[in-house]
């Protein structure tokens, strides 16, 4: 009986996460275009028709409609259901780690901010200040909601990556974008210094591999830039969920 209930609860949590990320799809689409995402329901980007309530069911709607708009048959990117799937997984993972607590809500919200930031930066090469402010607010909440990371560690997290990034950018103009630096300052408060350093390390690994691949396949020249924000966001997401085991494993070598 208990397992049935647990499965049922997990399905509910998954659907809540997927539905919230379904809304984040709208944010990702509308914020860079300076459109309001508060008023109006989701609509097809191509024909502008409002979707029916049934089209709002995450993931399944896309599968049923075979990735096409009900009205104009325009293609709807697979990114939409993938973001929804990500939201469902993030909700389950957050609840699994922190149970039914405020911490779960904050971790999930943090993951949501990382997701919109990553996609908008990928699309536009810019990180809107609204997202940095949202991360900052979550970071301030974290000071009170989590006791496993100390006050000082959070303050150090705010500067341990952002400050070096800022200094490097003074020396090599354009090395990092202003949005990346602000993002790391805000998110560092949430993560504390250890996870912030780990995030950056993971981001450099991922970004370096991607940059190398772009050069080898000649998709971009040596002087061209690509968005680094998605790698920072992915690094931070990984650090939140698996950072502590990685740090403990690494610390095991030092003792």
Residue 147-176 contact track with Zn ion, rule CB under 5 A, x = bound: ------------------------------
Q: At what angle do helices 151-160 and 178-216 cross, to 10 degrees?
A: 60
Question: Min. distance of Cβ 68 from Zn ion in angstroms?
Answer: 8
Nearer to Zn ion, 69 or 187 (CB): 69
3-state helix, strand, coil in the chain (%, to 5): 70, 0, 25
**Residues 69 to 128: which contact Zn ion by CB under 5 A?**
69, 71-72, 74
Min dist CB 65 to Zn ion, Å, is 10
Instruction: State the nearest-atom distance from the C-beta of 63 to Zn ion, in Å.
Output: 17
Burial of 178 (0-12, 13-18, 19+ CB in 10 A): middle
Q: Looking at the DSSP assignment, which residues form a beta bridge with residue 43?
A: 50
Give 63 or 72: the residue with its C-beta nearer to Zn ion: 72
Let me know how many helices (H) and strands (E) the chain has, helices first: 9, 0
The piece of 63-71, 100-108, 116-124, 159-167 that touches Zn ion (CB under 5 A) is 63-71
Closest to Zn ion by CB, 44 vs 198, is 44
Count of residues interacting with Zn ion (CB under 5 A): 7
Select from 12, 46, 54, 168 the one that contacts Zn ion (CB under 5 A).
Answer: 46
Cβ proximity to Zn ion: between 56 and 152 the closer is 56
Number of other CB atoms surrounding residue 162 within 10 Å: 22
Instruction: Check residue 47 for interaction with Zn ion (CB under 5 A).
Output: yes
Determine if 242 is a binding residue for Zn ion (CB under 5 A): no
Interaction with Zn ion in 25-44: which residues (CB under 5 A)? 44
Question: Residues 133, 143: contact at Cβ < 8 Å?
Answer: no
Question: ∠ at Cα 254 (251, 255), nearest 5°?
Answer: 95
207 CB-contact burial (10 Å; exposed 0-12 / middle 13-18 / buried 19+): buried
Binding site for Zn ion (CB under 5 A): 44, 46-47, 69, 71-72, 74
């Amino acid at each position: 009986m208990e397992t049935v209930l647990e499965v049922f609860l997990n399905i509910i949590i998954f659907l809540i996460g997927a539905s919230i990320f379904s809304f984040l799809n709208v944010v990702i689409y509308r914020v860079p275009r300076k459109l309001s995402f508060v008023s109006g329901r989701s609509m097809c980007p191509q024909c502008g028709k409002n979707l029916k309530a049934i089209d709002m069911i995450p993931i399944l709607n896309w599968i049923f409609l075979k990735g096409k708009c009900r009205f104009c048959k325009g293609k709807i990117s697979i990114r939409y259901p993938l973001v929804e799937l990500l939201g469902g997984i993030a909700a389950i993972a957050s609840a699994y780690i922190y149970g039914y607590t405020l911490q779960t809500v904050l971790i999930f919200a943090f993951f949501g901010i990382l997701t919109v930031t990553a996609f908008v930066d990928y699309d536009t090469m810019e990180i809107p200040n609204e997202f940095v402010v949202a991360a900052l607010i979550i970071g301030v909440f974290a000071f009170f909601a989590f006791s496993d990371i100390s006050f000082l560690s959070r303050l150090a997290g705010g500067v341990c990556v952002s400050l070096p990034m800022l200094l490097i950018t003074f020396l090599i103009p354009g090395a990092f974008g202003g949005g990346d630096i602000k993002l790391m300052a805000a998110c560092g408060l949430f993560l504390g210094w250890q996870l912030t350093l780990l995030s950056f390390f993971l981001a450099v690994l991922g970004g370096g591999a991607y940059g190398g691949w772009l050069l080898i396949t000649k998709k971009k020249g040596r002087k061209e830039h690509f968005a680094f924000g998605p790698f920072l966001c992915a690094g931070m997401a990984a650090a939140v969920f698996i950072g502590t085991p990685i740090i403990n494993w690494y610390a095991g070598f030092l003792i």
